[in-house]
Structure formats: C-alpha cells, structure tokens
C-alpha cells in the first residue's frame, strides 16, 4: 500500500487502485470474520422504511438506525459488542491520513444488485475535524458528490475495487451517495456485489 497523489474531486481525495488484489483479499477475509460475529442487518430509517443495504460494524461503536433516529451504538442488535476493527483495515487509515488518533468505528455496507445509498451527510459524529475514510471492495459503484447543502449541484465518479476515498476538510460534511453498482464488474466477492467500509472517529 503506497499512496500516490490522489484525485481531488470537490475536496474528496480519491486514491485509485490504492489496494492491490492481494490486499483486497486479506481485507475481505477479515471483514467476513467480523460479519460472522456481527451479522449483516437492514436498518430501518426514522420514517420506517428498510434501507436497501445490509450493514454491520466493527470497533467501539456501530452505526444504527430505527424509528428513534440515526445514532451510534456500542452493541450489535443481537446484544453482543462489535468486533475489533481488523488491523488490515486500520493500516489504510494510517496510510491516507495524518491523524494520531485511530478510528473507533468501521461501518460495513453491503450492496446487492439493486441496493442504493441516497444523498446524505456523515454528521452523527462529535468532532468533524477528523476525516471519514471510505474503502471500496467488489463491484464498481457510481459515487455521487455534492456540496454542503442538499440543493447543491452534484457530479459522479465510478469507484472500483481497491479505491480509497478520504472525506475531510471542506468535504467532511458534503452530501454524497451511491446511485447504483455495476453488478458483476468485479470477481472479488463470490456472489458479486459491493462492500464499502467507512472509518470514523465517533467521539
């Protein structure tokens, strides 16, 4: 993992092909271990609608949503603490940020063929001076980037397996989302689909 100069798209720093196929395989195996302990589930939005992505987490906190709203919880819905963030994932944070503090949440999103993630801000954390680091594994995802207001114009870029995106500074509270995936565009996952990891400092 040897970061080169990233593509700067509206303050989003995108490291194309940062992770080698071998590194992606190691990370995926580690994430499978996390999911074995903390199975994927589909959160309910505050409006009562199930999200189309499967979710889990690793670290001290996991992101959660139900009719009470969006928040971080210390335990999986099955009542067990979240597994530790794998070191293979922690190394990505160290490679692309200069933060002395390690993340305390790794959110895992699993996209099947029809799954989407609407435009949203990552704003449930306490300190926005820390970046959010996003890791793409598996099928390509069409990543849409906006501004700090929902009405701002957007532009899109395809993220491929092994790409890493850093959302910090002016981009930290920008709206973003995944409009669709190119199902079957990667052979990394056995049954296709896309896994996105986001590393965050929660408190």
**Chain segment 69-80, per-residue pLDDT in tens:** 889 999 999 999
- Please name the residues in contact with 32: beta carbons below 8 A apart, sequence gap of 6 or more: none
pLDDT < 70: residue spans in the chain: none
pLDDT at 9: 95
pLDDT at 1: 79
Give me the DSSP letters along 69-113: EEEEESB-TTSPBPPPPPHHHHHHHHHH---SSPPSEEEEEEE-T
8 A C-beta contact, residue 11 and residue 165: no
pLDDT at 65: 87
pLDDT at 48: 81
* CA–CA dist 173, 97 (Å, integer): 17
Task: Quote the tokens at residue 155.
Answer: 């532009």
At the top level of CATH, the class of 7-200 is mainly beta
pLDDT at 45: 80
pLDDT at 46: 77
pLDDT at 6: 95
8 A C-beta contact, residue 121 and residue 152: no
List the domain boundaries for the chain: 7-200
């Amino acid at each position: 993992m040897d970061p080169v100069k990233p593509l700067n798209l509206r303050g989003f720093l995108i490291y194309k092909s940062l992770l080698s196929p071998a590194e992606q395989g190691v990370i995926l195996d580690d994430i499978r271990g996390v999911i074995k302990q903390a199975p994927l589930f589909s959160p309910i939005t505050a409006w009562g609608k199930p999200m189309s992505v499967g979710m889990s987490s690793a670290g001290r906190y996991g992101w959660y949503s139900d009719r009470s709203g969006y928040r971080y919880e210390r335990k999986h819905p099955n009542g067990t603490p979240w597994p530790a963030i794998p070191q293979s994932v922690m190394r990505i944070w160290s490679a692309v940020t200069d933060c002395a503090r390690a993340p305390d949440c790794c959110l895992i999103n699993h996209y099947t063929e029809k799954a989407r993630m609407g435009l949203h801000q990552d704003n449930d954390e306490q300190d926005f001076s820390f970046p959010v680091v996003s890791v793409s594994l598996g099928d390509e995802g069409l990543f849409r980037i906006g501004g700090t207001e929902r009405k701002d114009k957007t532009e899109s870029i395809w993220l491929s397996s092994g790409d890493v995106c850093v959302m910090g500074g002016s981009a930290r509270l920008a709206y973003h989302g995944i409009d669709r995936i190119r199902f079957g565009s990667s052979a990394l996952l056995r049954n296709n689909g896309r896994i996105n990891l986001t590393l965050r400092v929660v408190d």
